[in-house]
Every structure is written in C-alpha cells, then in structure tokens.
Amino acid sequence: MMTVIDAFVAKVIELGDYTEQDALYLFNRILALVGEVSGNPDSQSKPLIDLKEDLLDLAVANGKVGALLEERDSLGAELMNFITPIPSKVNENFWETYEQSPEKAIADFYALSQRNDYIKLVAISKNIAFKTPSKYGDLEITINLSKPEKDPKAIAAAKLMKSSSYPKCQLCMENEGYQGRLDHPARANHRIIRLPLGDEEWGFQYSPYAYFNEHSIVLNTQHVPMVISQKTFEQLLDIVDLLPGYFVGSNADLPIVGGSILIHNHYQAGRHVFPMEVAETVKSFTFKGFERIEAGIVNWPMSVLRLTADSKADLVALAEQIRLAWRDYSDSKAEIIAYTGDTPHHTITPIARRKNGRFQLDLVLRDNHTSPEHPDGIYHPHADVQHIKKENIGLIEVMGLAILPPRLKDELLEVEKYLLNQYNEIADYHKNWADQLKDEHPEVSPENVQEIVYQAVGHTFARVLEDAGVYKNQADFMRFVESIGIVEV
C-alpha cells in the first residue's frame, strides 16, 4: 500500500528535477527526516503541500521534530526544498527565459515560489479583505491573519537559545537555504534572483506573506541601511524596466514614517494597481528646467507629487531636486519643521511605475517630527484612530492598502455585538467609536452589522492617511512647490 512518503516522492518527481531512478533515494532521505510510516490509501490524490503537512504530523508523532510551529516550519521548508532547484539553477533558468520573454521568466519564478510553499498561500487565504469607498477612491483594507502569532512556548525557548547574528536580518542574502531556528524563519526553500542595478548587485524574491498580487522584494545584496537618495530614483526606474508590469516603491528612511526594516536597504514591488495609482491629479504645473515632465498634486489624503515623463534621466534629476528641497524646507504656517537641532525630519516615500509607455514617479512627502500633543508623530495616526491602526504608515499603506493588526478580527466581532445590544466584551478603546456608529446607524441589524463595521473601519483608515498627510490644504502645498520653481502660466 502507498505511504504518504511514496505519494510525496511521486509529486517531487513530477514537479521537480528528479526522475524515477531517484525514487528510492528520495524515499530514504525523507524517511530519515520524518520516521517510520504505514500505508495510507488517501495519500495518492492529495496536493503536494497537503502531503507535506501529513509528513510533518508524522515527524511530530515519531519524535523527529518538535510540535512548535517554528520547528514544523523548519522541517517543512526542508521537505519543500526537494522540489526547489539550487540557487544557481534557478538563476540560470530565470535569465535564459528572460532573454526570450521577461514576462515568462517572472511568471515561472512566481509559480516556483508558490509551488514550493515559500509563498504561504494557505496562510494568506485567511486574511480578511474588503474595499471602502472614499472621496479619494476605493481604499483596500486587509486584516492580516496570515502571519501566525508567536507561541509563548516558542518565545520562552528562544530566550534560552544562544544568541546569533547570522543572518543579520530577514532580508540578508544569507537567508537563502538557511535552516531556521525558533527566533528566525526557515528558508531552506528560499531562492533569490540576482538582479543587476547599475554598478550594484541586488536580489529579487517574493514575500512569503504577500499583501498584494505578486508581492516581491528587491533587496541590496549587502546589509546596508535604508536610504533615499538620487540612486534610489535611478534604481526604482531601472526596476520597472527590468520587471515589466510591476510597480516598485521604497519605504521612507526615517523612524516613525519609515518601514519595519530600516537596517537593510530594499524595495517592494508587484503586479497590483493600488488606489493611489488611479487617483487623479488635481493641480498641474511645470517645474522650471523640466518642461518635458508633467507634474502635479494628486487627489490623495497624503501629500503626493506625481511626475510623468519619457526620460528616466529627467525624472531622476527632478526627483532629486525635490528631495533636497523638501529635506531642508520649513514652513511655520503649515507646522512644517525640517530639523530639530541636527535631527532631520523630512524624507520621501517614492513609487515608480510605467504608465502608457511612459515613466512615472509618485513622491510622497513625509515628516516625522513630534509634539507634546502628538508624541507618536504629528504626521502619524492620531490617538483617536489608534484603536484601529497605531503602527507606522509604510509604503503599502501610503498607496491605499491598509494592513491592520490581527487583533481586530475578534475585536470587531465584539463591536458588532455591542451595536446589536447583545452581550459583548468590547475593548474600552473601541467604545467611543462604537457609540458613534450606533448614533449614525439606527438601521443596524444582524444582516448589515458586519458591513457597517467594515465600512467604518475603512473610513477610519482614510482618516489615518489624512493624519499622515503633511499638507492639509493645497495652498500650503503649493508654497513648497513654488519654492522649487515652476513655470508661470
């Protein structure tokens, strides 16, 4: 009778580079990892990833691996490594295909990253996602349930481990093939495409817990900190040439307004049209010396300058001029402060794309200074909306896709019960908001309560973005634009 190992081996031969001659070898290597197994008539029809989970259950039962999620993931990645070509082969396949069709090379690498369970499709499917209409267009909301929360046992065990600085962070090249440990994710099935950017070598990989279609990361092969500079604009525009159909953007490089990993320079890319991309320009102008570039302010809650041109070099030059101007720009009327002593407060979140054959850069102005009234940041979600979102507003959210914490899944159910006057355990920090919803929606019923709460969450996210927007009106924004120099109409 076929065992789960036999079924897994058959799938590995079907999907990977092994042949039937390798069947016994594969069986024995997997047997060594998971332990003895009996026949299972249901195994033959199962998908590869389901078979992998069965093997993990077997390994736990046989004492070959611990039951903690991190321990299972480490063995799971090792099992999926059997269908994953070695890095040199993955790169060779990518670039050979790229010469004929860049689109197919990208599609093949994406398919591999899903097939070998590096992209956690099962986990991602647990996310709650919906859209909310706003005056800026439809905003996208995701309650992130894909990343499992740490088991207290794993946290305690990790504290007892000898500390390690290898790899230095989760974006380092050294993650490729890394076995993983309780405090660092397993990466045995991880592969990175080497990507030339100017005179530097970068890496191109997919995100294990994707927030949008083909969510990928382009990372510096050296462990160097995030920085926004002229080279950033050059590299972003080169990437949209190298990866057709993809947008690419960078988190800002300062605390509060920056991303979660400021210690390793990287960009995020993918094949997704974000709400900000379809937002229209509400005020157009031309910068002096850059008459071939279309420029304007975008109808968006954050402060966005959009530049569109045929020439990458022109865009880079103007973007750098704007970055340098914003770095040192202060305006007391608009509560804009460039420095506190020698501490800088201004930077940019840049996003690049191809649009109708032309190059386009969106430059989002960021300011991270604080005040006694707003100790978390004047341009950070204010206290009255932090019951929904208190984390930094990074690149993805800047573009109109909210990544909300998993706590909201259960908390919003309690809000729904509160609105329906049912017994509930609503969190105190949601109560004022819930009372307001009660007043606004006397028509609430069991049939519509979830939609009412979800749309209210979306409206709160619009407020979050407004809080993060540096300019609250066009007149103040135009003072900065005019300081750079525009052609008078």
Instruction: Give the residue range(s) of CATH 3.30.428 domains in the chain.
Output: 124-165+193-401+471-484
- Taking only the tens place, the pLDDT of each residue in 358-388 is 999 999 999 999 999 999 999 999 999 999 9
Q: Which of 305, 241, 210, 225 is nearest to 106 (CA)?
A: 241
Between CA 300 and CA 283 the distance in angstroms is 12
pLDDT, position 1: 66
Using one digit for the tens of pLDDT, what is the confidence trace for 162-211? Answer: 667 899 999 999 999 999 998 899 999 999 999 999 999 999 999 999 99
Structure tokens at 172: 């380092």
Q: How far is CA 108 from CA 98, 124, 439, in A?
A: 10, 20, 52
Mean pLDDT over 264-272 rounds to: 97
Helix axes 48-61, 69-80, angle to 10 degrees: 130
Whether pTM > 0.85 for this model: the answer is: yes
Tell me how long the chain is. Answer: 489
pLDDT grade for 36, boundaries at 50, 70 and 90: confident
CATH class of this structure's domain 124-165+193-401+471-484:
alpha beta
Q: How far is residue 306's CA from residue 304's CA, in Å, rounded to a whole number?
A: 6
What is the pLDDT, as a whole number, of residue 155? 47
pLDDT of residue 33 exceeding 80, the answer is yes
Helix, strand, coil in percent for the chain, rounding step 5: 40, 20, 40
Lowest mean pLDDT among 40-49, 172-181, 202-211, 446-455: 40-49
What is the reported pLDDT for 43?
A: 74
Helix H segments across 194-245? Answer: 230-242
Residues 6+ apart with CB under 8 A from 260: 392, 394
* 217 C-beta neighbours (distance < 10 Å), count: 22
Q: 100-129: per-residue pLDDT in tens?
A: 999 999 999 999 999 999 999 999 999 999
Angle at 64 between CA 63 and CA 67, to 5 degrees: 70
Q: Return the pLDDT at 360.
A: 98
In angstroms, the CA 377 to CA 316 distance is 29
